[in-house]
Structures are given as C-alpha cells and as structure tokens.
Amino acid sequence: MATSDVTSTLPNSRTEPDGSAVIRVLSYNIRSMRDDEDALARVIRACEPDLVLVQEAPRFFRWRKHAARLAAKTELVMLSGGATASGPMLLCSLRATVERTEDVLLPRTPGLHQRGFATAVVRMGGARFGVLSCHLSLQAEERYAQGGMLLDRLAAMGVPHAIAGGDLNDRPDSRTFRRLAGELQDCWAVKPWGGEYTSTPDSPHQRIDAIFATEGIEVLGCGVPLGLPEADVKAATDHLPVLAALRVPAK
C-alpha cells in the first residue's frame, strides 16, 4: 500500500503563509529493536513523520550504532536520547532546525528501572517549540510523580509551545493520564483520527500511548494510522504507533 494511502486523510507537512508549521509527530515504543527491524522502519516511513518520539530505544551494547541504523532506514536523523535518557529518543527529518537538546534522568526508586526524558527545542518554518519523549514507570506512585516532572520540564523549556508523547503505562481514566490531560491537550481526545487503542498489535484493547500538546497548538488529527500493512505492524514491535498532525503557530 502506498504511503499516501495510509495517511492521506491527515494534512501534509508544510509551512503556512503566516509562518506557522503543520507537522506530523509520531510516538512509538519500539521494544529496543528486538523484533523485525525492517518492518519497523517501513511502518515509520509510511507515517511520513517530521518528528518521532521513540520509547525503548536501544540502550546497551553499541546502542548508538543501532539507533543510527534505524535513523538511516527511516530517512531521519537522531536528535537526542537513547541510553543517555534511559530509553526515550527523538528522531527528526531534515526539515527541523535544532536549537538545543537535553537528556534527563529522573529520580530512581530502588528496585525499579531508571527512567528519563529525551527533550529538544526545534524550529520548523516560523514555529519554535519544545519536544519531549517519555516512558513512564510501571509503579503507580512513581508514575504519578513522573507526570508532574514532565509538566515541569515542559514549563522550563522557555518556549511558548511544546509537544510531549510516549508510553504512559496508564489508561485515560488513570490519575497520571488525567494529570497530564488536565494541563495539556490530549490530542486523541481533541481530534480523534484512525484507531484509538495502542496495545497490543495482535489485540488492541487499551490506549496507553499518547501525544499531548500545549494550548495554542491546533490539533488536526491524532490516532493509530489505519491501513498500515498488518504483517509489518505485528512484526515491528509490541505497540501500535500514534500519529498526530499539528499546526504550531509562528513564534
């Protein structure tokens, strides 16, 4: 199936006459690239993203080599994250001009996995905005605290607009999800498009992955792309991708 068939109902990336930028943002848990790497790359390319908010990027032996290989296969470049953010990673197209990046390690609860954020400030067209990829804790209290840290991190970026996304390990009726949706736009809830459930590819039954945007960003559509080759989606990883089209105002 051609790429345009998969995402044709979402606006294409472009810069508007007023300088605002229409962008495509993809959030995707790739399970450390332990599955079919070529299928994973095909799924990402089919979504035509400007930015990819990755979770569970390779973070052990030769992780930079693996990340660079994925970037090359998807015709993107590595922006930040990976092992230095304990899993979250950002990829971007050549459309993005990067101002700065920062990988953040979060306070760790003994006995639980280290968590972190991959962050950046970028410009596209006349728009300037922050980006953050996250993978929150499996433990409820730690996850709730990390939700607050995510909001604090976005506020500290010093930009008027920001986008965050990732694997929340939580559903929309949970405390952490509601904490984020209370301060940010839950893009699926604002303008649903495609499918809702992100887990699992074999039997989608829950929405635990999401993309959020600050007020002022216009949500043009968000959800799991329909029409992706089923074999690739199931072979790529144990999550489904979330794709959003957003209009970010000029700075």
Residues in the chain: 251
At residue 251, the pLDDT reads 83
The residue ranges of every structural domain in the chain are: 3-248
Strand order in the sheet with 185-186: 97-105, 116-124, 127-135, 162-167, 209-213, 185-186
Segment 174-203 mean pLDDT: 98
Do the beta carbons of residue 41 and residue 74 sit within 8 Å? yes
**Cα radius of gyration rounded to whole Å, the chain:** 16
At residue 3, the pLDDT reads 43
Fold classified for 3-248: Deoxyribonuclease I; Chain A (3.60.10)
What tokens were used for 47? 């979504």
pLDDT tens per residue, range 189-238 = 999 999 999 999 999 999 999 999 999 999 999 999 999 999 999 999 99
Is the peptide bond preceding residue 200 cis, with omega within 30 degrees of 0? yes
Average pLDDT over the chain, rounded to an integer: 96
Query: Three-state SS for 213?
Result: strand
Q: Which residues contact 157 (CB under 8 A, 6 or more apart)?
A: 119, 121, 130
Segment 5-32 mean pLDDT: 92
Q: How many CB atoms lie within 10 A of CB 226?
A: 11
